[in-house]
Amino acid sequence: MLAAIAFGSGIFAFWQQQRSAMLKFWFISAVVNASHFALLGQYEAALFVGLTAIRFLVAAIQPRQHWMLLFMLAATLILLSTYNSPLNLLPYAAAMLGTYGSFQTSLGRVRLCMAVGASSWIIHNILVGSPVAVMMELAFLLSNLVGFIRARRIARQLVTHS
């Protein structure tokens, strides 16, 4: 049920046309999703998603590079302190990509980083046995790609009509 709530908030985030609003809805989604992973006993994933939630909120309010580096360091410390299997590398990769993307000013770059990070989460969620989380990340990936393609088409149309 928590993954379904996170799913709804995440999808709503993709409807947003402004970077800050998108990140704030992803914050809500990540808080709920972190709780979902904690209930599954996937504490490393819960820590990464909890860090992601805080990162989304900070990036929405203050998208400064020093915050990006701090969140990358925090993700690395989580990996080093909780590592117990190669499975932990998937949330770490998603966290690093998401951190980089969250602090970019270009909405297209944010979407691209989130799409690549979603791929890591899809593999992770398959391996930990969370079908709702797999569906959620697949929907995020597809929504993200559709938004990215749509934005590129609009940009091309503006160039050709100029």
- If we measure between CA atoms, which residue out of 59, 60, 36 comes closest to residue 48? 36
| Total number of domains in the chain | 1
pLDDT in tens, 39-95: 888 888 888 889 989 999 999 998 899 999 999 999 999 999 989 999 989 989 998
- If we measure between CA atoms, which residue out of 121, 69, 112 comes closest to residue 90? 121
What is the reported pTM?
0.78
Q: Is 48 left (phi over 0), alpha (psi -120 to 50) or beta?
A: alpha
- If we measure between CA atoms, which residue out of 61, 60, 4 comes closest to residue 32? 4
d(CA 20, CA 161): 29
Residue span of the structural domain in which 6 resides: 2-160
C-alpha of 111 from chain center? 9
At residue 24, the pLDDT reads: 92
d(CA 123, CA 112): 18
- If we measure between CA atoms, which residue out of 99, 100, 113, 104 comes closest to residue 144? 113
pLDDT in tens, 10-52: 877 777 767 888 889 989 999 998 998 898 888 888 888 899 8
Check if the beta carbon of residue 95 is closer than 8 Å to that of residue 50.
Answer: no
